[in-house]
């Protein structure tokens, strides 16, 4: 039976069919739904790790224990997990390990658009790139076999379009579980230099064998058509090429590390002109050129952003007069905003008033950078806010440097930089915006919520106790809906000659719905616009007066506290 599945659902399905028993990862768009889907299978132990490095390390342990392990993350997550990855290539696996790297060309929801194909080459591990859901399911299953046959971890690299688009997948594949059991083997798994040197040489011979495998792998295939132009492509770009040039010859590469050199060379030799169509960097093109083969690519196809049939047609326009961009109107932009009633809003309002240096981090609260709140000075990567604050404080000598970080992000990578502040005698204030969830990626649980991915009750990480144990003595907890309290506690803490942590705690409204009655604006409104400075999407401006949309207002009362005219009252 074939059913319509997203790429993420298909990957989960493929992993289930492959007999995966342990699956772990850290949320991150566009990868998140893979583990959420897998968690519905009773027979799969699916869990959120505190970060991607821990996820991969658990995956490695599971593999050594004999299980097939799936580890999922978004592209930048692989930066966090890179340390174990590079050495895992040396040790190899026991049960198969497949790592999903979900890349985000176009940065729909990411801070950069790094091309993770280079990770496969740099870490020396095989990589596969599906072009649709059916292939994603097939490749995950296949990747486990390759992982075990070649004793190596495998990366399956997807991109947002593949993760989130739906296509038909055969779901009648039977689940086969194969567990190999644990066997002590220090020479293989303890990477002291003496052992690592041997494994390093072995890895090179595995790559030679994998390159040979790549030549005959069914996913690397030629689809012959006109020999005037031959396209070399992979992933979602393959779909675009087929849509635009159904009659052209195409070499579809599905195993993109190691590449099948002979297959590519023979293909190029049989077409008049070979063009590489690939998203982001000239990963394929550079390698093919390095072999001394004649191809073009990036001279026509942009290396920035997501591709589309239109962009490719435009780029190759001079070559194919018949293909014109469709010229469809762009959809109107809908910039993201903090939700009405978001507990982060009041904190940013106060931070702006106080004119502090605010080092920011990644999560819903990053939207505090946008007007009218405009109260964030930096945002680099998860966990960076705290180290950034320490550095700015050291360089400027200013005490009024505040790091702002979400609860999930603090647990992910905020703990070690806080240790640095304490250890190296910093005095910055760290604000943890504890909304009791990982809101940005769709409200996933984390150690601080006390509930697992499977919905089981677990021990809740106590942030106050944790930061005290690190050595922070000034630890305050306050309600972010109370603007006076927010202002007072921040002012007091930045004055101190010691590190301090403020936890503003209030659940995200998408997790705990509000039952409070909405508010409305009455005739006392004098049009001062102070309530508009909150940037609440429930408040708008009509006929020189503020207006609150009752269906959007959550009754948080933050705007009520700002109105000097008592013009914001319960909706009647
Ligand atoms: C290394 C890395 N992994 C995952 C992500 C995806 N991501 C962005 S923010 C975030 C966590 C947000 O949760 P939290 O810090 O609690 O803030 P909230 O969105 O709830 O305000 C995640 C998982 C990322 N950007 N980088």
The CA-based angle 391-396-399, given to 5 degrees, is 85
Q: What's the whole-model pTM score?
A: 0.96
Q: Over 80: is that where the pLDDT of 320 sits? A: no
Please, which contacts does 209-214 make with residues 24 or more away whose CB atoms are closer than 8 Å? 209/150, 210/126, 210/146, 210/150, 210/152, 210/258, 211/258, 211/259, 211/260, 211/261, 213/146, 213/150, 213/255, 214/126, 214/255, 214/258, 214/259, 214/260, 214/263
Q: Is the CB of 404 under 6 A from ligand 1?
A: no
Say which CATH superfamily domain 344-505 falls into.
Thiamin diphosphate (ThDP)-binding fold, Pyr/PP domains (3.40.50.970)
- Measured in angstroms, how far is the CA atom of residue 530 from the centroid of ligand 1? 31
The CATH class of the 519-570 domain is: alpha beta
Residue 29 Cα: closest atom of ligand 1: 6
| Average pLDDT rounded to a whole number, residues 21-42 | 98
Q: Residue 367 has what DSSP assignment? A: G
C-alpha 442: how far from chain center: 12
Q: Over 80: is that where the pLDDT of 329 sits? A: no
Secondary structure class of 152 (helix, strand, coil): coil
Q: What is the pLDDT of residues 361-410, one digit of tens each?
A: 999 999 999 999 999 999 999 999 999 999 999 999 998 999 999 999 99
The average confidence (pLDDT) of the chain is 96
Q: Over 80: is that where the pLDDT of 327 sits? A: no
Report helix angle 193-216 to 133-150, nearest 10: 130
Q: Is the CB of 470 under 6 A from ligand 1?
A: no
Q: What is the pLDDT of residues 69-91, one digit of tens each?
A: 999 999 999 999 999 999 999 99
Residue nearest to atom 2 of ligand 1 (CA): 77
Q: Is the CB of 445 under 6 A from ligand 1?
A: no
CA–CA distance, 230 with 59 (Å, rounded to integer): 40
The confidence score (pLDDT) of residue 535 equals 96
Residue 77 Cα: closest atom of ligand 1: 1
Is there a contact between 422 and 472 (Cβ–Cβ < 8 Å)?
A: yes
CA–CA distance, 148 with 400 (Å, rounded to integer): 54
The confidence score (pLDDT) of residue 467 equals 98
Question: Which residues pair with residue 275 across a beta bridge?
Answer: 231, 296
C-alpha 273: how far from chain center: 37
Q: Is the CB of 49 under 6 A from ligand 1?
A: no
CB burial readout 31-66, b (16+ within 10 A) else e: bbbbbbbbbebeebbbbbbbbbbbbbbbbbebbbbe
| Average pLDDT rounded to a whole number, residues 178-185 | 90
Q: What is the pLDDT of residues 221-250, one digit of tens each?
A: 999 999 999 999 999 999 999 999 999 999
Q: Over 70: is that where the pLDDT of 321 sits? A: no
Query: Any idea which of 57-66, 279-288, 323-332 has the lowest mean pLDDT?
Result: 323-332
CA–CA distance, 197 with 186 (Å, rounded to integer): 14
Query: Can you give the residue ranges of every domain in the chain?
Result: 2-215, 221-315, 344-505, 519-570
The HSE-up count of residue 420 (CA atoms within 13 Å, CB side) is 17
> Is domain 2-215 classified as CATH 3.40.50.970?
yes
CA–CA distance, 512 with 507 (Å, rounded to integer): 6
Q: Alpha-carbon dihedral of residues 37, 39, 41, 46, nearest 10 degrees?
A: 130
- Do domains 2-215 and 519-570 share one topology? The answer is no
Q: Is the CB of 362 under 6 A from ligand 1?
A: yes
Ligand 1 pocket: which of 385, 440, 445 to mutate (most atoms <8 Å of CB)?
440
Query: Strand (E) positions, 281-332?
Result: none
The confidence score (pLDDT) of residue 173 equals 83
- Cα torsion 184, 186, 191, 195: sign: negative
CATH fold for the domain made of 221-315: Rossmann fold (3.40.50)
């Amino acid at each position: 039976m074939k059913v319509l599945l997203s790429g993420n659902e298909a990957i989960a399905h493929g992993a289930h069919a492959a007999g995966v028993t342990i699956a772990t990862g850290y949320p991150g768009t566009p990868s998140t739904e893979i583990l959420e889907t897998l968690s519905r299978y009773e027979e799969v132990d699916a869990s959120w790790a505190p970060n991607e490095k821990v996820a991969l390390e658990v995956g490695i342990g599971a593999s050594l224990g004999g299980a097939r392990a799936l580890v999922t993350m978004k592209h930048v997550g692989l930066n966090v997990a890179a340390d174990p990855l590079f050495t895992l290539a040396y040790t190899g696996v026991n049960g198969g390990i497949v790592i999903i790297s979900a890349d985000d060309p176009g940065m729909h929801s990411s801070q950069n658009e790094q091309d993770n194909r280079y990770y496969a080459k740099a870490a020396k591990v095989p990589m596969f790139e599906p072009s649709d859901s059916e292939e994603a399911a097939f490749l995950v299953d296949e990747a486990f076999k390759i992982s075990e046959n070649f004793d190596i971890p495998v990366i399956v690299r997807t991109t947002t379009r593949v993760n989130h688009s739906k296509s038909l997948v055969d779901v009648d594949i039977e689940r086969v579980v194969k567990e190999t059991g644990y066997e002590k083997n220090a020479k293989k798994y303890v990477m002291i230099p003496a052992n690592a040197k041997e494994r390093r040489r072995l890895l090179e011979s595995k790559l030679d064998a994998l390159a040979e495998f790549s030549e005959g792998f069914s996913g690397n295939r030629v689809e012959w058509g006109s020999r005037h132009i031959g396209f070399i492509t992979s992933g979602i770009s393959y779909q675009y090429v087929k849509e635009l040039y159904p009659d052209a010859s195409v070499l579809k590469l599905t195993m993109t590390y190691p590449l099948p050199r002979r297959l590519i060379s023979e293909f190029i030799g049989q077409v008049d002109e070979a063009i590489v169509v690939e998203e982001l960097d000239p990963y394929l093109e550079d390698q093919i050129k390095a072999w001394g083969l004649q191809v073009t690519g990036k001279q026509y196809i942009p290396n920035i952003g997501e591709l589309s049939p239109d962009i490719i047609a435009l780029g190759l326009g001079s070559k194919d007069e018949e293909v014109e961009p469709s010229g469809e109107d762009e959809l109107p932009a809908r910039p993201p905003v903090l939700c009405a009633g978001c507990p982060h809003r009041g904190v940013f309002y106060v931070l702006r008033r106080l004119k502090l240096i605010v080092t920011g981090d990644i999560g819903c609260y990053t939207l505090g950078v946008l007007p009218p709140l405009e109260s964030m000075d930096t945002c680099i990567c998860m966990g960076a806010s705290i180290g950034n604050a320490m550095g700015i404080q050291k360089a400027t000598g200013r005490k009024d440097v505040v790091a702002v970080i979400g609860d999930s992000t603090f647990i992910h990578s905020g703990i070690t930089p806080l240790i640095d502040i304490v250890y190296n005698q910093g005095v910055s204030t760290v604000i943890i915006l504890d909304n009791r969830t990982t809101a940005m990626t769709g409200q996933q649980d984390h150690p601080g919520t006390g509930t697992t991915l499977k919905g089981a009750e677990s021990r809740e990480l106590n942030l106050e106790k944790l930061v005290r144990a690190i050595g922070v003595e000034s630890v305050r907890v306050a309600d972010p809906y109370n603007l006076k309290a927010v202002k007072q506690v921040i002012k007091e803490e930045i004055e101190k000659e010691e590190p301090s942590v403020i936890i503003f705690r209030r659940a995200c409204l998408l997790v705990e719905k509000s039952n409070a009655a909405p508010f409305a604006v009455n005739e006392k409104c004098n049009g001062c616009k102070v309530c508009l400075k909150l940037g609440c999407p429930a408040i708008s401006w009509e006929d020189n007066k503020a207006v609150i949309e009752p269906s959007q207002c959550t009754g948080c009362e933050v705007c009520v506290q700002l109105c000097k005219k008592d013009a914001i009252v319960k909706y009647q």
